[in-house]
């Protein structure tokens, strides 16, 4: 029998080593970038010393070409070039460039470290304040309540059972509708904020014991703080990426200045030079940290597998769940545009093929490690009907991410810390939502796709049947009244409206200026105080 405790211990040690390597990579990137900055600063500092020590009068002087030049300019240029001539004694030079390099390098390292720490802290705070609920709603999830159907109620019972085994509060359960791939993910940084999102495919095709094993796997991520670890790693990656972004900005700015006019040509070439020097260091930091983050994700998945087997006391259900996903036509796919952002949180890799940058070990390796003596062949489904892919275009994905970013920003506080507020009357909430979605669907004119855009957003709310309000019955006053009504809604209601708006706007794969203006108004009304 496989020693799960030993496997868990080895995986946790490997995870600690990978995290240490990420820290080393971050330090190396900071030091190398700081030294490069220090090297670039040597030249303006030496020039400043040369200019300060120049006492030449402003009388004309003829150079070797017979042209009259300013004596100060000539003296500064001569002192600057002499500073880098090692054959001249230090007393005869305005400053020693080697000594300057040490000071500028220390300044560059300190400035780079301070900038990265500041950016990392800001990004970490921005990610943390979104919370698990915002992520679940942004993924198009719907909360499962006591009035759910039998299959969804079974999921709630399983989550409660596993939570008792872990001795923790059950997370809120969300269902991802129309996602026929078998996958699950957990999100949240506090017990009040934790959620468990399960796809429709997992609800339909996983047996009860398999569902228990999968939920135990995800609960392990919550108990061991893997979501917090993921938040830290994401913030570190964004901080390291800022070096590459800054380098690209400097290079682009320099190119524009060089093309503008002759006066700014020199400044433009200097900016391009600085950007070209910094870019390789930023790129190395991002690539190295990305690879190490993927490695950490794989080791944490191994820990979660071992923990799930230890809690359920049976390796076969978890292995069978992985075999069932392996044989499923849709695998563990999740077709939402935000899937790439939450891919490390998922139970299995969302893509069918395993890649070098995959955050999860291959299914075959996980099955063999969990149950070496069991079957290692896929479990195929004969009655699976896979929902057709929406084939969301890149503009549509960008639109949905932009709207969902607004949803993430509306959940600044955990639910337990938010001030008490009265629930908006369901009829008023439905009426206000209908007006907003109707106005958005009519931005491009009354077309055959307007009804589709409205129903695509309305279906996200789950409020039953409704008809779109025609453009003839809409005006600015009615739209303002609807947005003012939303200010009295609860945070979950506001997040549901923003998720519905995302579905409506992204229907045609683009966002018009009118839709952007309406979205800004609604997001302002949905800010949580």
pLDDT for residue 174: 92
Q: What is the pLDDT of residues 15-34, one digit of tens each?
A: 566 667 767 777 888 888 88
| Torsions phi, psi for 211 (to 5 deg) | -65, -40
**How many whole angstroms from its chain centre is CA 309?**
30
Sign of CA dihedral 99, 100, 101, 107: positive
How far CA 21 is from CA of 16, 25, 113, 278, 293, in Å, comes to 9, 6, 17, 22, 10
For tokens 């300013």, name the residue. Answer: 70
Which tokens sit at 430?
A: 């439905």
Which residue in the block uniquely carries the two structure tokens 């900071």?
Answer: 30
- The proportion of the chain whose per-residue pLDDT surpasses 90, expressed as a percent, equals 11
Query: Do 346 and 333 form a contact (C-beta atoms < 8 A)?
Result: no
Residue 140, pLDDT score:
81
What is the rounded distance in angstroms from the CA atom of residue 75 to the CA atom of residue 428? 79
Angstrom distances, CA of residue 456 to CA of 264, 324, 452, 486:
52, 31, 6, 20
Give the residue, 195 or 266, on which the prediction is more confident.
195
Count other Cβ atoms within 10 Å, centred on residue 113: 17
Question: Which of 298-302, 452-456, 469-473 shows the lowest mean pLDDT across its residues?
Answer: 452-456
What's residue 383's pLDDT?
47
The pLDDT of 191-220, averaged and rounded, is 90
Q: Could you tell me the two tokens for 148?
A: 């759910």
Q: Is the pLDDT of residue 254 over 70?
A: yes
Q: How is the chain split among helix, strand and coil, in percent rounded to 5?
A: 65, 5, 30
pLDDT in tens, 464-477: 777 888 888 888 88
Are 509 and 393 a contacting pair, CB within 8 Å?
A: yes
Q: Above 70 in pLDDT, residue 404?
A: no
Mean pLDDT of 487-505: 81
In this structure, of 288-297, 366-375, 415-424, the range with the lowest mean pLDDT score is 415-424
CB atoms within 10 A of CB 273: 14
Task: Please check the confidence at residue 489 and state whether its pLDDT lies above 80.
Answer: yes
Give start-end residues of each CATH 1.10.3680 domain in the chain: 424-526
DSSP string covering 240-270: HHHHHHHHHHHHHHHHHHHHH-STTHHHHHH
**CATH code that applies to domain 424-526:** 1.10.3680
For the cut 70, the answer to whether the pLDDT of residue 398 exceeds it is: no
At 49 the three-state DSSP class reads: helix
> How many other CB atoms are there within 10 angstroms of residue 345's CB atom?
20
> Is a pLDDT exceeding 60 seen at residue 98?
yes
Question: What does the pLDDT average to over 426-436?
Answer: 87
Mean pLDDT, the chain, rounded, equals 77
Lowest mean pLDDT among 18-32, 230-244, 377-391: 377-391
Q: Is the pLDDT of residue 411 over 70?
A: no
Q: 111-167 pLDDT, tens per residue?
A: 988 988 888 788 777 666 666 777 787 788 888 876 668 888 899 999 999 999 888
Say if CB 399 and CB 178 are below 8 A apart: no
In tens, the pLDDT along 508-522 reads 666 788 888 888 888
Provide mean pLDDT across the span 425-439.
87
Rounded to whole angstroms, what are the CA distances from 464 to 81, 425, 459, 467, 496? 79, 16, 8, 10, 14
Question: What are the tokens at 157?
Answer: 């019972």
In this predicted model, which residue has the larger pLDDT, 290 or 336?
A: 336
Q: Distance between CA atoms of 186 and 139, rounded to whole angstroms?
A: 12
Residue 341 has pLDDT above 70, yes or no: no
**Which SS3 state, helix, strand or coil, does residue 314 take?**
coil
């Amino acid at each position: 029998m496989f020693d799960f405790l030993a496997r868990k211990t080895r995986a946790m040690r490997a995870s600690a080593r990978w995290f240490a390597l990420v820290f080393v990579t971050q330090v190396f990137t900071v030091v190398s970038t700081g030294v490069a900055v220090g090297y670039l600063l040597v030249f303006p500092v030496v020039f400043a010393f040369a200019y300060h020590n120049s006492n030449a009068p402003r009388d004309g002087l003829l150079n070797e070409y017979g042209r009259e030049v300013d004596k100060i300019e000539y003296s500064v240029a001569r002192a600057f070039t002499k500073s880098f001539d090692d054959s001249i004694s230090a007393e005869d030079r305005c400053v020693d460039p080697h000594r300057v390099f040490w000071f500028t390098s220390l300044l560059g390292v300190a400035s780079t470290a301070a900038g990265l720490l500041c950016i990392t802290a800001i990004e970490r705070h921005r990610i943390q304040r979104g919370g698990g609920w915002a992520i679940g709603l942004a993924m198009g999830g719907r909360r499962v309540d006591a009035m759910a159907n039998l299959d969804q109620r079974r999921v709630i019972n399983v989550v409660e059972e596993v939570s008792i085994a872990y001795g923790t509060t059950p997370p809120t359960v969300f269902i991802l509708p129309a996602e026929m791939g078998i996958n699950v993910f957990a999100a949240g940084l506090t017990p009040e904020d934790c959620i468990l999102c399960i796809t429709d495919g997992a609800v339909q095709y996983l047996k009860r014991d398999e569902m228990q094993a999968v939920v135990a796997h995800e609960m392990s991520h919550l108990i061991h703080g893997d979501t917090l670890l993921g938040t830290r790693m994401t913030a570190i990656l964004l901080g390291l990426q800022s070096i590459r972004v800054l380098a690209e900005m400097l290079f682009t700015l320099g190119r524009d200045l060089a093309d503008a006019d002759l006066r700014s040509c020199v400044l433009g070439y200097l900016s391009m030079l600085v950007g070209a020097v910094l870019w390789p260091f930023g790129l190395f930091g991002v690539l190295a940290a990305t690879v190490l983050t993927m490695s950490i994700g794989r080791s944490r998945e191994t820990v979660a597998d071992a923990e799930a087997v230890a809690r359920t006391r049976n390796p076969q259900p978890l292995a069978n769940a992985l075999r069932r996903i392996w044989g499923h036509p849709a695998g563990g796919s999740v077709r939402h545009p935000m899937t790439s952002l939450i891919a490390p949180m998922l139970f299995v890799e969302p893509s069918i093929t395993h890649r070098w940058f995959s955050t999860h070990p291959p299914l075959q390796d996980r099955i063999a490690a969990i149950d070496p003596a069991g079957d290692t062949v896929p479990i195929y489904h004969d009655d699976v009907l896979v929902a057709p892919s929406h084939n969301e275009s890149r503009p549509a994905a960008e639109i949905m991410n932009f709207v969902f970013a607004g949803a993430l920003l509306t959940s600044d506080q955990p639910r337990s810390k938010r001030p008490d507020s009265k629930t908006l009357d369901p009829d008023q909430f439905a009426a206000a939502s209908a007006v907003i979605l109707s106005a958005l669907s009519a931005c491009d004119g009354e077309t055959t796709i307007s009804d589709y855009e409205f129903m695509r957003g309305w279906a996200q709310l789950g409020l039953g049947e409704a008809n779109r309000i025609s453009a003839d019955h809409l005006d600015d006053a009615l739209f303002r009244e609807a947005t003012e009504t939303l200010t009295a809604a609860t945070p979950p209601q506001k997040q549901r409206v923003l998720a519905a708006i995302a579905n409506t706007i992204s229907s045609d794969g683009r966002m018009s200026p009118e839709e952007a203006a309406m979205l800004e108004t609604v997001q302002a009304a949905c800010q949580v105080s």
